[in-house]
Homo-oligomer: A and B are copies of this chain.
Amino acid sequence: MTKAPDRAALDHTAPDQTLADLSEGEVLARIFPRLPHADTELLGPGDDAAVLSAADGRFVVTCDMMIQGPDFRLAWSTPHDLGWKAAATNLSDVAAMGARPTALVVAIAAPPSTPISVILGIADGLRDGCEALAPGCGVVGGDLSASDALTLSITAFGDLEGRAPVLRSGATAGDVVAHAGRLGDAGIGLGLLFRFGVDADGVPDRAAADNLKLREPRFVEAQLAPVPPIGLGPVAAAAGATAMLDVSDGLAIDAGRLARASGVGVDFDSAALGDHRELALGGGEDHGLLATFPAAAVLPAGFRRIGTVTDQPGIVLVDGEAHTQGGWDPYRGWDGATS
């Protein structure tokens, strides 16, 4: 999957070099040393494939692709943000199974005119994201291609450490509904970027976004470089979580998925959703963990009770009343702008 890097070529990169100025091997030789090592790596980059240990006899796997335009804009996200977010969102899917993230493989496609500094920034973001969110998780391989739009495709692995995976389908009526992580912040950040991170014509603009980051760092950083509670996935599993998922498309939509998979309903307690109830229910990309626990369970630190599991299959309520869902669809939510 990866070519053996020419180590002699390291650290001789002029900052304005582009991918077209370097061979694939030269680019990879600059990337690999920046990437974190995985504790489970038996054989890393440089051969046709990597080899990872799976002491548990099983492994968890998930994948997600991020594409310039529909998924991010370079006027708003730094390369470091992109690497960080690509790691964070995939690690979160692993954590939502109750697994400890162990490794990533990363395929990057970029225009030949892309400065090498962009690719190195992505690598640094992947490293810092792994180190901060899932220590011991590393990058074990990848692929580098040419494309018109910058594209990151990540596959992430996890170790269940002997536990059963926590599925979406295990909730039963009477369980407590709990959440760990932020609710609505990333959605607020995206709204702020579309409103204030643009120029006079409404086009995404770096200077405007940088200014916004200084004024509203909490919300903008939640959108561009989220810090999901990865470590709480295995903790929730060990504490007896009956069902769990990663809140990527908004609390109401994802609660509906859990409810349908489990054949139950969810009734949220609006008092637990904070002052911005609709944003908490509708805002996507926070990548918190939505989990259900038996009524008698002691919730692990980091989780808050936000509702109750009911016996009404597929029904999501707030304080016992119906809630109308809205949300993100990849083929309906993109306006085609790629700046």
**A contact residues vs B (CB 8 Å cutoff):** 1, 3-4, 19-20, 22-24, 27, 42-43, 46-67, 69-71, 93-94, 96-97, 99, 103, 105-107, 109, 112, 140-149, 151, 153, 155-158, 160, 165, 167-169, 244-246, 257, 260-261, 329-332, 334, 338
- Bound-state CA distance A96–B2 (Å) is 13
Asked if B57 and A50 make an inter-chain contact with CB atoms under 8 angstroms apart, the answer reads no
A243: shortest Cβ distance to chain B, in Å?
10
In the complex, the answer to whether A146 meets B59 with C-beta atoms within 8 Å is: no
Out of B96, B140, B160, B168, name the residue touching A61 (CB < 8 Å).
Answer: B140
A62 in contact with B155 (CB, 8 Å):
no
Give the complex CA separation of A58 and B53 in angstroms: 4
CB pair B155 A155 closer than 8 Å: yes
**Chain B residue, CB-CB nearest to A66:** B145
Partner of A153, one of B23, B24, B63, B157: B63
User: Given that A47-B167, A146-B70, A329-B24 are contacting pairs, would A59 and B52 also be in contact in the complex, using a CB cutoff of 8 Å?
Assistant: yes
Q: Which residue of B lies closest to A90 (CB)?
A: B1
Contacts of A107 in B (CB 8 A): 63-65, 153
Highest count of chain B CB atoms <10 Å: which of A47, A156, A244, A338: A47
**Known A61-B50, A107-B64; contact A148-B146, beta-carbon cutoff 8 A:** no
Cβ–Cβ contact A93 & B1, under 8 A: yes
A48 touches B1 (CB 8 A): no
Listed residue (A59, A168, A244) with the most chain B CB atoms within 10 angstroms of its CB: A59
Question: Do A246 and B48 touch across chains, with their CB atoms under 8 A apart?
Answer: yes
A sample of 27 inter-chain contacts (CB < 8 A) reads A1-B62, A4-B260, A23-B331, A24-B330, A27-B331, A42-B58, A43-B165, A47-B165, A47-B169, A49-B62, A50-B62, A51-B60, A53-B58, A55-B57, A59-B59, A61-B105, A62-B141, A63-B107, A65-B107, A65-B143, A65-B151, A67-B146, A109-B151, A146-B334, A148-B148, A151-B151, A155-B155
CB distance from A5 to the nearest CB of B (A): 11
Which residue on B lies nearest to A153, using beta carbons? Answer: B153
Residues of B within 8 A of A70 (CB): 145-147
B residues within 8 A CB of A143? 63-65
Once A153-B107, A257-B3, A331-B19 are accepted as A-B contacts, the answer to whether A145 and B67 lie under 8 Å apart by CB is yes
Query: Beyond A43-B167, A149-B148, is A57–B57 a contact (Cβ under 8 Å)?
Result: yes
A54→B63 contact, CB < 8 A: no
> Please, how many angstroms separate the alpha-carbon atoms of A193 and B153 in the complex?
29
Measured CA separation A141–B58 after assembly (Å) = 16
B67 and A147 within 8 A (CB): yes
- Additional A-B contact list (20), CB under 8 Å, known A23-B331, A49-B94, A155-B155: A1-B62, A3-B257, A4-B168, A4-B260, A46-B261, A49-B62, A49-B158, A51-B160, A54-B54, A61-B103, A61-B157, A63-B155, A65-B107, A65-B151, A70-B147, A146-B330, A148-B149, A149-B149, A151-B151, A151-B153
